[in-house]
């Protein structure tokens, strides 16, 4: 299949929107940006064997390539609008491409985001996505906005994606002791690794409520560290308050579980800070958006993240950030 046929296959399925003046097919796309909005833009690339295991299903690769980008928009509090797709693929397999598009477009449809262009080349499998979102002027949820005494919150549960990698034997060897495949349902954990759910509705709900936000792609410990650095504060993390899925709790002992939750990475949940006075409002937003949230600590004077367990004893993870894996 020639490059032109691949592009035509993508074009024929690409969703549009009323504000797309010119989509796929010209030298560039043209969109209508509302006069009363700021444009929010981010890009993330997924490389085979680095950002996903080599044998990942094409549907999941397509889903995840868009999901990790939507997660960044969510962390800014932006409404997704348009995206472009830069595809480097080793062959010209139309069955692979169709499954990939099934995953990509399933998520695009959920968020009414239009695919307005991209690039298609022959090479090692690599997927670059750029997403564009809209935001009321001055309302972006920045890493630098945390204030002294803020609560620290996190969405849904942590550690599942990294736990899946441990059970698949793909994680940094020796970093996590054990993991019981018989006890812990790998399929549920893999779902979290392969099909992260970007917390777009939660991010939108937090605009004007949260002081700061970040999405957890590299691990809570290191990503919260970015909030600390940008905000000129420290953070105390209550490690026993970190939310765990039943699947994670089944298969890992306390030490392994804490490490996966605090520093596993690939979670794509939102970590945000807000004043204590906003607790009831945040609980209501969580209910409205169908996204559970948990309070996991507070912003303090200092420069870095510190952990404490339920007995107030200090705790640090065995490793603090995401380590890329290979097949
Ligand atoms: P050019 O040579 O002018 O860059 P291309 O042949 O690369 O044009 O692309 C033709 C059209 O197809 C452009 O509108 C481009 O945005 C779109 N396109 C190419 N590859 C993709 C892709 N993977 N996904 C979406 N649109 C694509
Ligand atoms: Mg081109």
- Please give the annotated binding residues for substrate, written as ranges: 51, 266, 322
pLDDT bin (cut points 50, 70, 90) of residue 91 is confident
Please check whether residue 247 is in contact with residue 190, taking contact to mean a CB–CB distance below 8 angstroms.
Answer: no
Separation CA 215–CA 72 (nearest Å):
6
Separation CA 88–CA 65 (nearest Å):
13
pLDDT bin (cut points 50, 70, 90) of residue 185 is confident
pTM: 0.94
Q: Where are the alpha helices (DSSP H) in the chain?
A: 3-13, 58-76, 94-110, 160-167, 186-194, 200-206, 220-231, 246-251, 254-263, 279-289
Of the CA atoms within 13 Å of residue 257, those in its CB half-sphere come to 20
Cα–Cα nearest to 269, from 321, 207, 196 = 196
Residue whose CA lies nearest to ligand 1 atom number 24: 118
Please check whether residue 72 is in contact with residue 138, taking contact to mean a CB–CB distance below 8 angstroms.
Answer: no
Residue whose CA lies nearest to ligand 1 atom number 3: 27
Please check whether residue 77 is in contact with residue 289, taking contact to mean a CB–CB distance below 8 angstroms.
Answer: no
Cα three-residue angle 103-105-108, rounded to 5 degrees: 115
Topology, domain 150-315:
Phosphoribosyl-aminoimidazole Synthetase; Chain A, domain 2 (3.90.650)
Domain 3-135 bears CATH identifier 3.40.309.10? no
User: 321 pLDDT exceeds 90?
Assistant: no
Separation CA 270–CA 71 (nearest Å):
8
pLDDT bin (cut points 50, 70, 90) of residue 72 is very high
User: 187 pLDDT exceeds 70?
Assistant: yes
User: 251 pLDDT exceeds 90?
Assistant: no
pLDDT of residue 219: 95
Domain ranges within the chain, ordered by starting residue: 3-135, 150-315
26 lines ligand 1 (CB under 6 A): yes
Q: What are the tens digits of pLDDT across the range 235-245?
A: 999 999 999 99
Number of neighbours of residue 35 by Cβ within 10 angstroms:
5
pLDDT of residue 174: 47
pLDDT of residue 263: 94
Q: Which atom of ligand 1 is nearest to the CA of 4?
A: 6
Q: What are the tens digits of pLDDT across the range 158-180?
A: 999 999 999 988 655 445 655 66
Taking the CA atoms of residue 66, residue 72, residue 73 and residue 74 in that order, the dihedral angle to the nearest 10 degrees is 100
User: Which listed ligand is nearest to 4 at the C-alpha?
Assistant: 1
User: Which listed ligand is nearest to 20 at the C-alpha?
Assistant: 1
Average pLDDT over the chain reads: 93
User: 218 pLDDT exceeds 90?
Assistant: yes
């Amino acid at each position: 299949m020639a490059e032109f046929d691949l592009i035509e296959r993508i074009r024929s399925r690409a969703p549009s929107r009323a504000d797309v003046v010119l989509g796929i097919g010209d030298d560039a796309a043209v969109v209508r940006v509302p006069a009363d909005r700021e444009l929010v833009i981010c890009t993330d690339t997924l490389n085979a064997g680095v950002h996903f295991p080599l044998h990942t299903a094409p549907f999941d690769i397509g889903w995840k390539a868009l999901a990790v980008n939507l997660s960044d928009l969510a962390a800014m509090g932006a409404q997704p609008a348009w995206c472009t797709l830069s595809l480097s693929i080793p062959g010209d397999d139309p069955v692979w491409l169709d499954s990939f598009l099934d995953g990509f477009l399933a998520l695009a449809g959920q968020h009414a985001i239009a695919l307005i262009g991209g690039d298609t080349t022959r090479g090692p499998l690599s997927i670059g996505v750029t997403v564009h979102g809209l935001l009321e002027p001055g309302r972006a949820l920045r890493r630098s906005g945390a204030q002294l005494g803020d609560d620290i919150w996190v969405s849904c549960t942590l550690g599942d994606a990294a736990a899946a990698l441990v059970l698949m034997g793909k994680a940094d060897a020796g970093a996590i002791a054990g993991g019981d495949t018989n006890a812990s349902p790998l399929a549920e954990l893999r779902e979290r690794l392969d099909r992260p759910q970007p917390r777009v509705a939660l991010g939108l709900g937090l605009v004007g409520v949260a002081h700061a936000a970040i999405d957890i792609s590299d691990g809570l410990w290191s990503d919260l560290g970015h909030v600390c650095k940008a905000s000129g504060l420290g953070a105390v993390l209550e490690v026993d308050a970190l939310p765990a899925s039943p699947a994670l709790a089944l298969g890992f002992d306390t030490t392994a579980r804490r490490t996966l939750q605090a520093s596993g990475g690939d979670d794509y949940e939102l970590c945000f800070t807000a004043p204590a006075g906003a607790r009831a409002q945040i609980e209501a937003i969580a209910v409205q958006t169908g996204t559970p949230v948990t309070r996991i600590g507070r912003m303090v004077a200092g420069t870095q993240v510190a952990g404490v367990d339920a007995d107030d004893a200090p705790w640090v993870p065995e490793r603090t950030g995401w380590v890329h894996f290979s097949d």
